[in-house]
Structure 1
Amino acid sequence: MASIKVKFRPSTVADHEGTIYYQIIHERKVRQLLSDYKVFPDEWDESRSMVITTQKSERKSFILSIRERIRWDVERLIKIARKLDANGLSYTADDVIDEFNRYANEYSLFNFMESIIVKLKQNGKVRTSETYKSALNSFKKFLTSQASKDDYRQDEDIMLDCLTSEVMEAYEAWLKGRGVAPNTISFYTRILRAVYNRAVEDNIIENRNPFRHVYTGVDKTVKRALSLSVIKKIKALDLSLNTSLDFARDMFLISFYLRGMSFIDMAFLKKSDLKNGYVTYRRRKTGQQLIIEWTKEMQMILDKYPENATDYLLPIIKNLGTNERCTYRNVGYNINHNLKIIAQMVGIQVSLTLYVARHSWASAAKAKGIPLSVISEGMGHDSETTTQIYLASLDTSVVDKANSLILKSL
């Protein structure tokens, strides 16, 4: 098997940093692989072939970081050499270097995660790809902030096998320091864990369990349901002089009327989904089919707006040839912004968003004595999947009856 040695090459300029490099020897052929790590001569111990530091050194954390990076690089080079040996084919020291460079290009966290994002989009899982991109962008910002402290790498990226427990704990602490909520932190770390586990399954890296000390659970969120009396106040507001607020209120109400339909499902609801007095659609999040009776309250809102020029039912995505997902997100952002203003107008402290309509319908159903087999209290299950399982098993007329009772109360 090839032998790997860590070497130091001093700078030709006095008092300048020298370069760490790796010497790969195989079948009496010697090759050199330069690293990105630079240290001063007094930070290198030739007898032990390692970088050194002192307790009082201002560069201590930086040097220790380089020491750890060197250890990871050597482990990767040894692993590559063993893999080539196991293949039973002849190879050279140059092959070891080529494989090391290929690994660095393909199996950095950013490159590996970007490849997963591309595959998710190709498979039609656009929303999932967006959540992965969100987590990746968050981690990129973290690494950029850490680079200035010399904690990890001087560039932005990090190798998959360099995701350690210490790195993930530092990321969690960074998020907490920015005031990020526990469930959002868990959202990011669970996505990173899924990416890491895929790399383990693909035999790219060995599992070092880097997520064992960070939070990956889900806290129950603060109840965000509005009472029927508050929804009545929102419904009764005279917003005729402000079309933006009026539209936001209408979309909130129709979400409530449609049994707390999520905004993405509202935006992509098609005219063809409304037939014979019923709306039939599949939830984008779960793929579950739902059937909802179309009521006069819903039709009254729809009649306020010109017929949509597109195939969509509601006046959310209204122009042909636009980026539909971008339009849906922008409209949703504007609606939620205006709902905050409406909340102030009716004197409520709840952070009013479209999603509150979903919680409110569930809470209203409970208040009307609807059995928990029909709807769970304010979506209070640990996962929404649990709620969807029992909803799917019911005769839709039972749920429509519950909806009718709620709407008559307004």
Structure 2
Amino acid sequence: MATVKIKFRPSIVSSKEGTLSIQIIHNRIARQIGIGYKVFPHEWDRSRSEVIIPPGTDELRRAHLTTVKNGINENVFAVDNIIKRLELSGNRYTSAQVIEAYLSAQTDGFVSYMRSLIHQLNQIGKNRTAGTYTTTMNSFIRFYGIKEVPWEQVDAKLMVRYEVFLKENGICPNTSSYYMRNLRAMYNRAVECELTFHRNPFRDVYTGVDKTVKRAIPQDAIKRLRDLNLNSRPSADLARDIFMFSFYTRGMSFIDIAFLRKEDIQNGILSYRRKKTNQHIVVKWEKQMQEIVDKYDTVNSPYLLPLIKNVGQDERRQYLTAAHRINRNLKTIGKQLGLSMPLTCYVARHTWASIAKSKNIPISVISEAMGHDSESTTRIYLASLDTSVIDKANKLIIGLL
């Protein structure tokens, strides 16, 4: 009978993740098939041939490794079942035939297809889309379980059940819609590949986008946050500084802050492009911004603030880990200040707009960036303005503190 093992091949670059694969050995002939998962060498136990979670692993990475472990178990289970079927048939078979049967099964159902699609997206460098689809797939698996979903069962009733599950677990309508839209995109790809007939499974679930309640805190809360003594809590101090930096820069998003480079400041002007929209933003550099930058030693980094610490080493994962850590600390600080809402980096963006509006700064100047129905409207307003008008507005708001 064929045997199944998980193999780890480290990257030739020591700082990068190695790849995991399934090895099938039958009649002394070994064949391997990649399963799309990667881990670092210290996350692999060679003696037990399994992924481990080392002590001190942060929460985000821990969740990722748990997903990898579960995924490996699913794949091994699928291969074992194929081998059992081939053994029961009484016919001779090869390790190559096991792999062929495994690959053909990858599109036999919706969950398998999602895994295969995500693997393909990662292989061609579309990591962001792959990450989005992975988050959605994991949510769906929490609802349905790791078992396969036959294509004929992907219908409107199933999606309504999933929507009810999300609601019962406290998922807001916009997040539920986000998952549904991603599932729909993956399902439509499968239809285009003629893997299934279109059964319009999303016709009875919500796939729109509701207006969200503005997440702004009062001006006095911003002052209390700024003046809070956090010298004994470096992580919280950094989180507060990142929040204030976002506020000072007209609500700059966390991803843009994380990837700001020192060269983005020229002649007293901060100039960058938004990661989300590629929109060009110009901000007058104020002393409050410089005071925050001066607190941190980034002499050996091209980045302005200490959020991406290992340059060139999976910077996206570093950014996600930093975002999680910053927001976790901000929520703790928010409770300390007695705020009625969770404090996150995004609150800085809403708060800037709210204060600007309360001071009768023209809507065209603040562009209702946090209240417009679409990003395109915001871009149209900002693109047509003299940036000096925006800089004056920003200076006025900062001066109120």
On whether the aligned pair clears a TM of 0.5, the verdict is yes
Larger radius of gyration: 1
Q: How far apart are 1:123 and its partner, in Å?
A: 5.7
Q: Distance in 1 between matches of 2:183 and 2:217?
A: 35
CA distance in 1, matches of 2:246, 2:142: 35
Whether contact under 8 Å (1:361, 1:378) holds in the other structure is no
Q: Match for 2:129: what amino acid? A: T
- TM-aligned CA deviation for residue 302 of structure 1: 0.4
- In structure 2, how many angstroms separate the alpha carbons of the residues matched to 1:283 and 1:124? 20
Rounded Cα–Cα distance in structure 2 between residues aligned with 1:279 and 1:124: 30
| Secondary structure of the corresponding residue to residue 366 of structure 2 | coil
How many percent of aligned residue pairs carry the same amino acid? 53
From the superposition, tell whether residues 381 and 212 of structure 1 become closer, same or farther in structure 2 (CA, over 3 Å). Answer: same
CA–CA distance in structure 2, aligned partners of residues 249 and 282 of structure 1: 24
Contact 1:375 1:387 in 2 (8 A): no
- The 1:394/1:205 distance shift into structure 2, 3 A limit, reads farther
Q: CA deviation at 1:320?
A: 3.7
Q: Note if contact 1:104-1:159 (Cα within 8 Å) is conserved in structure 2.
A: no
What residue number does 1:134 align with?
A: 135
Give the match for residue 307 of structure 1.
298
SS in 1 for 2:282: strand
Q: CA separation in 1, counterparts of 2:210 and 2:279?
A: 25
Q: 1:356: how far off? A: 0.4
CA shift, 1:378, in A, is 6.7
> Does 1:265 pair with 2:256?
yes
CA offsets, 1:276-324, max 9 Å, x none? 2222222111222212221111000000111242221111112345432
- Specify the alignment match of 1:21 in structure 2: none
Q: Paired residue for 2:43?
A: none
Alpha-carbon distance, 1:396 to partner = 2.3
Q: RMSD of the TM alignment (CA)?
A: 2.4
The alignment partner of 2:283 has SS state of: strand
Which residue of the other structure, out of 368, 382, 386, is the alignment partner of 2:377? 386
Shift, 1:239, TM fit:
1.7
State the alpha-carbon separation in 1 of the partners of residues 147 and 328 from structure 2. Answer: 34
Residue 181 of structure 1: aligned partner: 172
The answer (yes or no) to whether the contact 2:216–2:351 under 8 Å persists in 1 is yes
1:284 partner SS: coil
1:336 aligns with 2:337: no
**Do the aligned partners of residues 119 and 234 (structure 1) sit closer, same or farther apart at CA in structure 2, a change above 3 Å counting?**
same
Amino acid at match of 1:353: T
Alignment of 1:224-263 (within 5 A): 224-263=215-254
Q: Tell whether the 8 Å contact from 2:111 to 2:149 is kept in structure 1 after alignment.
A: yes
Residue 113 (str. 1) matches residue 114 (str. 2): yes
Write the distance in 1 (CA, Å) between the matches of 2:392 and 2:119.
44
Report the CA distance between 1:124 and its aligned residue: 4.9
Give the letter for the 1:265 counterpart: D
Aligned in 2, Cα 1:105/1:116: closer, same or farther, shift over 3 Å?
Answer: closer
**Separation (CA, whole Å) in 1 of partners of 2:122 and 2:261:** 22
Kept in 2, the 8 Å contact 1:362–1:378? The answer is yes
Unaligned runs of 5+ in 1: 1-98, 145-154
Distance in 1 separating the partners of 2:372 and 2:256: 21
Note closer, same or farther for the CA distance 1:100–1:332 as it changes in structure 2 (3 Å cut): closer
Cross-structure match for 2:390: 399
Partner of 2:188: 197
What is the alpha-carbon distance in structure 2 between the residues aligned to residue 383 and residue 120 of structure 1?
A: 28
Change (3 A) 1:342 1:100: closer
Q: Could you state the TM-score of these two structures normalised by the residue count of structure 2? A: 0.69
Change (3 A) 1:231 1:307: same
Which residue pairs with 1:206 in the alignment? 197
Distance 1:125 1:357, change over 3 A: farther
Following superposition, the deviation at residue 160 of structure 1 comes to 4.1
User: How many residues of Structure 1 are paired with residues of Structure 2 in the alignment?
Assistant: 302
